[in-house]
Amino acid sequence: MSERAAPGTAASASAVVDVPLWRRPRVRGIVYQAVLCLVVALLAWAAIANVSENLARANIATGFDFWNVTAGFDISQTLIPYSAQASTYGRAFWVGLLNTLLVAVLGIVLATVLGFLIGIGRLSHNFLVSKLCGGYVELIRNVPLLLQLLFWYNAVLKALPEIRESVALPGGGYLNNRGLFLPDPQIAGGGAVALALVAGIVLAIGFRALHERIGPLGRGRGRTVVSTLLVLVPPLATAVVVGVSVTFAYPEMGRFNIRGGLEVLPEFVALLTGLSIYTAAFIAEAVRAGLMAVPKGQTEAASALGLRRGAALRLVIVPQAMRVIVPPLTNQYLNLTKNSSLAVAIGYPDLVQIFTGTVLNNTGQAIEVVVVTMAVYLSLSLATSALMNWYNAWITPAER
């Protein structure tokens, strides 16, 4: 116990030196870390040795040569040209990735809209509306997503009438157990309009930035009106000048199938419905927590200023709540993207179904395929959270 002498006495300086080497925190730390690194390295080495031995025995190739081999299987939904005879496994990978992105992006949009409505509805003064929204959240959150997807696909969409008894939708679409058939918009000269739209958005962002830099260029509504005009006028003007025509290719009811139009797979409908409804419940909770985190005084101050409830929400509450809402919202977007991998349960051709399913089974190259899949999801996660962090920094009002 002598080395625990009171600090400041003559003994303490020499006592520290007397501590045996293995008792010094620094030395211990280095030893612990060295041991840990050694163990991890040994495990990795053993695993790699086992892998090469196992692969050699099972006669499985290694490396990414399979990437350029012809795939030879069909995919039911392709956003880029793909054919079983001519396209490679690499092409199939991109088809799957694009399908995943398609369902994730659409799901995020739908889930956000639904989630905000329900989250705000839960705090409504209307008794029935708040109970309905509460019930929705409670029910949806407590049932596994996989079960919900199976329900939408097997119990709802598969139970729809057959082609001959298709449900005719208003506007010329059909709904049956083979999917959703919608009029396909054919836009001539759409490229120029899209370009003009992008230009308009850039102009509007520039206007807002200028506005913030050199002070008010217009008050309240005026600013919104100018921004909206900047976004809307260029594409409309281009449309008038170039002469855009939009025609719809309507789906036609044949004897045994439906020809033409935009065919949406039932798997896609089920996956999108399930993901949006499930994630919306979690987004609603995040929105509710965010709104409740704004002090009550803010609501009272807003109503003392004479703002109605809608205006108070839009101008006072939501802007402050957003910085509380955005981090959990980011998490939910990531979850939705990751959960889209459950597509494999109902056979929607997403990245996991095509790549980790079919390609893995055909090539047997488990390690390459699983590592590539994980890398893709990891980069998607990192990209989404980087984007949302930037958005959060942008919307957070400057703190005084």
70 vs 177 by CB, closer to another protein: 177
Residue 12 binds another protein (CB under 8 A) = no
Q: Is 54 or 83 the residue whose CB approaches another protein more closely?
A: 54
For residue 278, the minimal CB distance to another protein (Å) is 10
Half-sphere exposure of 240 (CA within 13 A, CB side): 5
Per rule CB under 8 A, is residue 400 in the interface with another protein? no
213 in contact with another protein (CB under 8 A): no
Q: Give yes or no for residue 105 binding another protein (CB under 8 A).
A: no
Of 239 and 281, CB closest to another protein: 281
| 311 is a site residue for another protein (CB under 8 A) | no
Question: 187 or 374: whose CB is closer to another protein?
Answer: 374
- To another protein, the closest distance from the beta carbon of 220 in angstroms equals 23
Q: Among 238, 237, 228, 241, which Cα is nearest to 191's?
A: 238
Q: Which is nearer to another protein, 101 or 236 (CB)?
A: 101
Contact 283, 111 (CB under 8 A): yes
The contact mask relative to another protein for 26-45 (x = CB under 8 A, - = no) is: ---x--xx--xx--x-----
The mark string for 354-383 relative to another protein (x by CB under 8 A, - otherwise) is: --x---x-----xx--x--xx--xx--xx-
- Which 125-164 positions form the footprint of another protein (CB under 8 A)? 125-129, 132, 138-139, 141-147, 150-151, 154-155, 158-159
Residues binding another protein (CB under 8 A): 29, 32-33, 36-37, 40, 47, 50-51, 53-55, 57, 124-129, 132, 138-139, 141-147, 150-151, 154-155, 158-159, 338-339, 341-342, 344-345, 352, 356, 360, 366-367, 370, 373-374, 377-378, 381-382
